[in-house]
């Protein structure tokens, strides 16, 4: 027998194993294991979030703790004495300050009807919502300008002001390294090999390793491939996407990165901090013919070590 819309809604409502059939309209805080599963699903949907440091915490504010790319910290300390602070590593003054944002989405009755006999419908619905959330988080990580979003203010209430992204954080950090891309423009075109070489040269030697990546916009990457191809007479091969490194460092193509902006850093240095207290609200709306979803959670972006980050852009 075909399932009714309410039966399908109940099936979705029971997806996490914590809800009873009569609880079609639900709301509340996810259990720890549910929250962790949701966060992991979001991260898995993004090629970039899957590579950076994901710092989960039940607190809204916490110190950043990243040391995967740090070397040269071994010491020999006699018994009864403490290690020298001058040679130990600490993320002094770096803190995650997570701010809330909501995902509003829905599943239409038509979708439920079209998939009424599909196994695992509830898992597919959760996967879809996580993908929507992941796309926005990844985009904000690169285009975020500020964190002073004010609902109803037409001058500030926009997506880019939900949270500062990594490029903005590196630009503002006094300890990071900046390269002016304008110095490498001739005839209206960027000399990508010279520009990227200058960026790599700015990185302190202690941080240089195979963990470092060049993050650049997809259109800029295409321009880079054309230039290198013309130099070597192999345009067809290069523009097919087979050149994914420069001077031995891998290139991560990021469509959301602003054009003519490049970051060079160990990917573990980029932190996506996410609060594990996640509230989810779900309601069957007959008048709209949808199941409404709201996910309320807090997050922040941070750069663990400013000295290990180089950004190239058109400086003032």
Separation between Cα atoms, residue 273 and residue 74, nearest integer Å: 28
Instruction: Answer whether 286's CB lies under 8 Å from 151's CB.
Output: no
Tokens of 208: 């240089």
pLDDT computed for residue 18 by the predictor: 43
Three-class secondary structure of residue 129 per DSSP? helix
CATH for 175-269+307-313 is: 3.30.2320.10
Separation between Cα atoms, residue 53 and residue 131, nearest integer Å: 19
Three-class secondary structure of residue 172 per DSSP? helix
Three-class secondary structure of residue 200 per DSSP? helix
Q: By C-alpha distance, which of 204, 146, 151 is closest to 175?
A: 204
Domain residues of the chain, as ranges?
5-66+95-157+271-302, 175-269+307-313
> Which residues, in sequence order, are bridge partners of residue 95?
63
Q: CA 241: distance to chain centroid? A: 23
List the Cα angle 133/104/281 in 5-degree steps: 105
pLDDT computed for residue 23 by the predictor: 37
- Mind listing the pLDDT tens digit of every residue in the chain (316 residues)? 555 666 666 665 555 544 333 334 567 888 888 889 889 999 999 999 999 999 999 999 998 877 777 777 778 889 988 877 665 555 556 899 999 999 888 888 888 778 777 777 767 777 888 899 999 999 999 999 999 887 666 766 688 999 999 999 999 999 999 999 999 998 889 999 999 999 999 999 989 999 999 999 999 998 888 888 776 555 555 555 556 889 999 999 999 999 999 999 999 999 999 999 999 888 878 788 888 888 999 999 999 999 999 999 998 7
The architecture of the domain spanning 5-66+95-157+271-302 is 2-Layer Sandwich (3.30)
Strands (E), 44-159: 53-57, 61-63, 95-97, 99-108
* pTM, rounded to two decimals: 0.85
């Amino acid at each position: 027998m075909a399932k009714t819309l309410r039966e399908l809604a109940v099936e979705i409502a029971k997806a996490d194993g914590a809800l009873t059939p009569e609880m079609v309209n639900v709301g509340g805080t996810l259990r720890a294991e549910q929250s962790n599963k949701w966060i992991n699903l979001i991260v898995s949907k993004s090629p970039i979030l899957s590579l950076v440091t994901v710092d989960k915490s039940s607190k809204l504010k916490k110190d950043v703790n990243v040391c995967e790319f740090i070397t040269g910290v071994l010491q020999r300390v006699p018994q009864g004495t403490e290690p020298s602070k001058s040679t130990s590593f600490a993320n002094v003054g770096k803190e995650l300050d997570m701010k809330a944002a909501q995902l509003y989405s829905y599943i239409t009755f038509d979708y439920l009807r079209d998939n009424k006999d599909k196994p695992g419908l509830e898992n597919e619905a959760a996967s879809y919502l996580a993908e929507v959330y992941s796309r926005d988080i990844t985009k904000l990580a690169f285009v975020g300008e500020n964190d002073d979003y004010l609902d109803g203010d037409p001058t500030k209430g926009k997506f880019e002001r939900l949270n500062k992204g990594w490029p903005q954080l590196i630009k503002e950090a006094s300890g990071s390294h900046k390269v002016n891309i304008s110095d490498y423009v001739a005839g209206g075109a960027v000399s990508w090999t010279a520009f990227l070489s200058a960026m790599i040269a700015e990185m302190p030697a202690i941080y240089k390793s195979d963990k470092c990546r060049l993050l650049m916009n997809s259109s800029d990457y295409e321009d880079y491939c054309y230039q290198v191809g013309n130099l070597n007479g192999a345009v067809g091969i290069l523009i097919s996407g087979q050149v994914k490194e420069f001077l031995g460092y891998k290139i991560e193509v990021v469509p959301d990165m602003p054009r003519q902006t490049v970051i060079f850093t160990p990917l573990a240095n980029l932190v996506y901090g996410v609060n594990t207290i996640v509230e989810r609200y779900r309601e069957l709306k007959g008048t709209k013919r949808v199941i409404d979803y709201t996910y309320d959670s807090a997050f922040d972006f941070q750069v663990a070590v400013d000295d290990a980050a180089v950004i190239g852009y058109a400086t003032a």
